[in-house]
Each structure stands twice: as structure tokens, then as C-alpha cells.
Structure 1
């Protein structure tokens, strides 16, 4: 005999097909942070980092341009309407196309910002990002956290044509342009730095006590 005939107890049970509401049902059944992880992984398809607190992997589907909130607000006009934007304290995180981190140093040099100290950085491959709580209603009650979604993400929002990227053959003229975005936020970062530098000595003089003879 080639082997014993399998019985019903040894046969693998058929998997129950997942309906369209399965991710949402799973989110409701888990705890707050587990619901958030399920929402990011199952609904958006974004990779997360194991462990707590919940963090997202940069450099896979998107990179993240991290700038002061004032500078980021000025760059919003260069984003597509559905492009996700997060806010954490006084910092704004703009999602850009994956691979942008490698392009940024050369791009800043080309824009003649390379020799200027700028308060901006970019998170690319190997970096992680604090995961803001999902928007209300997306995965139950939001978890507590410092970061929030200013423009919440949705399925398909990080497609190549949706996020700012370097100009390339095949990209439509209306596609978000990383060059314009970086030039705008760099100029605003530099302007804010000059404003602080000019205000510093004056502020120091105002804080000095008045001298009477």
C-alpha cells in the first residue's frame, strides 16, 4: 500500500472565504493598537514594524519629507488632493514617492540649496515613521499618540502617480512634482531661519533690564 487512506479527521479543513467586510470586522474585534495595525496592513496594504509602539516602514511604498509645519503648509499646494500628510507637534510629514530620499541631496544641490543649512530631512529605506492613529471610524476608536493625520490616507493613495516624484518619462504633466515641492519647503525653511536669526539679537536686547543713571 502506498499509504493509509486519509480520514475526515486528517483532511485539512477548507478555509472560510473572507468577505469584503472581513478587515473591518477584524479591526473591531482587536484592541486599539491591533486595530490600527490591521487597518494599515489589511486595508491600506502598508508594511508595519513588529512591536510597540506602532511604526510604519518608510522606503517601501513611500518616503517621508519631514519639515517644520509652517514650511510644510506652504508646500501643500504641490501635493495631489489625496496625498497623505501627517502632523506631529510642530513637524509636518509629507509622503513622497519611494526612492526620493536618494534623490534629495542631488536635488538640493541642483536647486542651489545644498550649501544652506535647512531644517528638513527625509526618511527613506531602513527608516521608520510613528504611525498616526487611523481617522475616526476607519478602525474603531483612535489610539492615543502624538502624531495625527492632517490628510488621512486611503486605499491606493500611495500609487506612483499620486505622490510627488522626480519628473520622468511617462508621468503626466499634472502629476505632483518633487522638484517644486522641495524648492518651496526649502525656501520657507530658509526664510524661517533668517527670521529667527534677525529676531534673536533684538529679542535679547528687549530682555535686558533698563539701566538708569
Structure 2
């Protein structure tokens, strides 16, 4: 199971698109029940994050920073690529096909490597996520690699649809510290009106590959610490 990958298009290079195009903004806005209001909000507050509902246009798989980045790396190095990927408040947001949030946990429960995958937050129908500003301008996070995102943070604090223009003050990144926990930016920004989105089987494959990679790295680290210790013990026993 862990070596199986659904038949999908293959992309060879990890993209570095840090800002959302007009077409990508149209796609993001289409997730909202009021697309025109979202475009107006982005025009008036270009440096502020915004809140969008999941389940209709996309789901979001919300992963711890390091594990989420490993998933994205494997999707691009050995898989079909990814949909949009964002960082926000110390988490990675992987945008996925609708329905993924419901199916992925069940697939992980049956997968033998599922227990090695850190807890994921899967946001689907009825949930909302906080997404970064469209463009990494002066009020947004810089181009560092730190700070993936906590989906739904704005909605959980009452900063969601009731007053989107107000935003959430603690969701705004410190422009002087791109690696700060509050950092919010796009790793793979939406750039077309209908981006390809991975489904649950592909993200299961990425989870398993990332988990196996972590285990392999842990074994190498343990071996690196074990061998000098054994050599030191041998030297003591032999009087060397």
C-alpha cells in the first residue's frame, strides 16, 4: 500500500509561487457565498488574512509544520505535485479535493503506517480556514520557510464571516520576522481558476511516505549516537 500512487499527472519541480494571481483569487473567492465581498475585502486590506469556508470548492488538510512540509516535498519529488499550499501560524495547509477531509482519517486508520502520522486537522464541509494574504506585501509575512497555518483560527475566535473586514489582529504576521509563529504566506499559491487538487488516496500516499522518511531519519540519528557510545565503551574495556 505504501508504495502505491494513483495514476495522476506528474510535475517535476517544486513551485515557488508566493502570490495569488487574479485567476487564483477568483478561485479562492468562489469558495465564499459572497465572492464580490471577498474581492472587495482583498482590495481594501491586501495585507490581512481572510477566512474561507471548506467543503464546496476545496477541503484543507492541516498538518504540523515539519511533517506538512515533508508531505509537500514528497508530492513534488516523487508524486503528482500538489494543489495550493500555505503556511499560517506554525502549521501547513494543503488544499485538497472536496470530500478529502472526511475520507483521509478513515484511510489512515486502516493504513499500517497510520500510527506514525502525527495528528492532522481535516477541514471539510461546515469548517472554515484562515488563508494568507494574496500577496506577500509589507503587512504580510516575508519569504521565509517558517510558520505554516492553523486553519479555522479566525473562525474559532469569532473573527470569521460576521465581520470579515475587521480581520484578526493576532493573525497578522510580523513583517520583520518571516519565521515567526504568526507567519502567514503561500508556498504554492493559487494561479488558475480551476487548480488540480489531490484527493484522499494521494494525500494518504504522501502521509505514508513522509512518516517513513521520519522513521528512517530517526534510525539514522540513533545509529549516529549509538556507534560512538559503543566505541567509547570498547575503549574503556580494552584499556585503549
Is contact 1:66-1:91 (8 Å) kept?
A: yes
Structure 1 residue aligned with 2:190? 153
Matched, 1:63 2:88: no
Larger radius of gyration: 1
Structure 2 residue aligned with 1:111? 111
Is contact 1:118-1:190 (8 Å) kept?
A: no
Structure 2 residue aligned with 1:102? 102
Q: Cα offset for 1:44?
A: 4.4
Over 3 Å counting, the alpha-carbon distance change for 1:54 and 1:48 in structure 2 is: farther
TM superposition score normalised by structure 1: 0.53
Matched, 1:78 2:103: no
SS in 2 for 1:182: helix
Is contact 1:133-1:142 (8 Å) kept?
A: no
Q: Cα offset for 1:65?
A: 1.0
Is contact 2:60-2:93 (8 Å) kept?
A: yes
Structure 2: distance between partners of 1:186 and 1:114: 8
Q: Cα offset for 1:40?
A: 6.7
Is contact 1:58-1:128 (8 Å) kept?
A: yes
Where in structure 2 are there 5+ consecutive unaligned residues? Answer: 1-19, 42-48, 141-171, 173-182, 223-240
Larger RCO (CA under 8 A, 6+ residues apart): 2
1:47 paired residue among 31, 48, 54 = 31
Structure 1: distance between partners of 2:25 and 2:31: 6
Over 3 Å counting, the alpha-carbon distance change for 1:116 and 1:179 in structure 2 is: closer
RMSD: 3.7
Where in structure 1 are there 5+ consecutive unaligned residues? Answer: 1-35, 168-176, 199-213
More helix by share: 2
Over 3 Å counting, the alpha-carbon distance change for 1:72 and 1:166 in structure 2 is: closer
Q: Cα offset for 1:117?
A: 7.4
Cα deviation code 1:155-176 (max 9, x no counterpart):
2353xxx211145xxxxxxxxx
Over 3 Å counting, the alpha-carbon distance change for 1:81 and 1:135 in structure 2 is: farther
Q: Cα offset for 1:130?
A: 0.6
Structure 2: distance between partners of 1:190 and 1:67: 17
Structure 2: distance between partners of 1:96 and 1:104: 10
TM superposition score normalised by structure 2: 0.47
Structure 1: distance between partners of 2:124 and 2:114: 19
SS in 2 for 1:133: coil
Structure 2 residue aligned with 1:125? 125
Q: How many residues align?
A: 143
Over 3 Å counting, the alpha-carbon distance change for 1:178 and 1:59 in structure 2 is: same
